[in-house]
Amino acid sequence: MKTKYSTFILILFFNFITSSGLAQNKKYRKYFINGSAMLVSGMFDGTVESLTWHYDQGFKRRFPKANDAYWNPNVSWKNKYKNGNSLEGPKFPGSTTAFAFATDGYHLLRTCNRAVNTLEIVDYTEGCRKSKLARKEKWKQAGKDFLIYTAIRSIGFTLTYGVLFKRDPNYHQPTN
């Protein structure tokens, strides 16, 4: 229940920021757009870590109808191979390398995370190239931005790993 309220508050906050005059200011718009990308990156990473380290007690508890064959890394890795058997080789060309993202949730989320980070690096680098700041000032700005974006990415991670998929210490895995 708390998570629903937290998500609602975040949506309201971002709506306020985008509709306010802050978003019209180029400096703040940069932080909003790039910060949003870092928030999403952290959320992808937090979900990946939740899948990996407490699938049953976090992710599956939140999404009980989730397809284990796709989302549970202890099972879904088999999707990359013919008949789920690594000895039979890849299920299709690239299923164990370039196209692993198409086989399971773990690899899909990792690929999305890398894509967001790569786009962010490209955008940030382009912004630095166009900046009229002196070289020393660019480094100061980059340091400040690093701290800000790292904090925002950490918030995204915490929202998923520490709040949405928080491990329930009282959870007992059902026995079959």
C-alpha distances (whole Å) from 89 to each of 79, 80, 84, 127, 149 are: 11, 9, 9, 44, 41
Nearest residue to 126 (alpha-carbon basis) of 114, 134, 118? 118
Q: Would you state the pLDDT for residue 169?
A: 74
Q: Would you state the pLDDT for residue 170?
A: 74
Mean pLDDT of each 10-residue bin along the chain, 176 residues long: 54 56 62 89 96 92 94 96 96 96 96 94 85 84 91 94 86 60
Amino acid at 64: P
What is the Cα–Cα distance from 100 to 91, expressed in whole angstroms? 10
| C-alpha 154 chain-centroid distance | 10
Tokens encoding 160:
């998923």
Q: Would you state the pLDDT for residue 102?
A: 95
Q: Would you state the pLDDT for residue 6?
A: 56
What is the Cα–Cα distance from 59 to 165, expressed in whole angstroms? 5
Q: What is the pTM of this model?
A: 0.79
Nearest residue to 106 (alpha-carbon basis) of 65, 61, 70? 70
Helix, strand, coil in percent for the chain, rounding step 5? 75, 0, 20
Q: Would you state the pLDDT for residue 147?
A: 93
Residue 13: CA atoms inside 13 Å, Cβ hemisphere, count? 8
Q: Would you state the pLDDT for residue 21?
A: 53
Tokens encoding 13:
């906050």
Tokens encoding 78:
């088999």
